[in-house]
Amino acid sequence: MGTSSAYGGPQIGLIPSWVDDPAAGVAALDPTPPVAPAVAPPALRITPDVSGAGSLRGARTAFNQFARTGNRDALARGVSRYVRDGVGGSDRAARRMGEARASAGRLLGVVRDFSRDGPAEALRRVNLGDLAGRPAEDVFLALLEVICPPGGSLDEAIARQGMLEAIDALAEEGLGPFDDLTAGQLEEFFLDVVARTIEARILNDIGAKGVSIPHDVGAIDKLQAQLHDFVAGTVRSELAGRLDGVASLSDRAVVGAANGIYAAAFEMLAILGDDA
Residue 182 burial by CB count (10 A; 0-12/13-18/19+): exposed, middle or buried?
exposed
- Domain residue limits, the chain: 4-34+56-275
Q: What angle do CA 243, 185, 36 make, to 5 degrees?
A: 110
Q: Distance (Å, rounded) from C-alpha 171 to C-alpha 48?
A: 30
Sequence-ordered list of residues with C-beta below 8 angstroms from that of 107, at least 6 positions apart, any chain: 143, 147, 163, 190, 193, 258
CA distance 103 to 107: 6
Along the 276 residues of the chain, how does pLDDT read in single tens digits? Answer: 333 333 333 333 343 333 333 333 333 333 333 433 333 334 445 555 555 557 888 888 898 888 888 899 999 999 999 999 999 999 999 999 988 999 999 999 999 999 999 999 999 999 999 999 999 999 999 999 999 988 778 888 999 999 999 999 988 888 889 999 999 999 999 999 999 999 999 988 887 555 565 566 776 777 788 889 999 999 988 888 888 899 999 999 998 999 999 999 999 999 998 887
- From the number of C-beta atoms within 10 Å of its C-beta (0-12, 13-18, 19+), residue 87 rates as buried
Q: What angle do CA 179, 185, 188 make, to 5 degrees?
A: 145
Give the pairing type, strands 4-7 and 211-214: antiparallel
CA distances from 146 to 43, 99, 209, 222 (A): 11, 13, 33, 32
DSSP 215: S
Q: Within 10 Å of residue 149's Cβ, how many Cβ atoms?
A: 17
Calpha distance 64→136 (Å, rounded): 39
**Phi, psi of 177, rounded to the nearest 5 degrees:** -65, 150
Q: CA 272, 61, 72 angle in degrees (round to 5)?
A: 40
Residues constituting the chain: 276
| Alpha carbons 92 and 111: distance in angstroms, whole number | 26
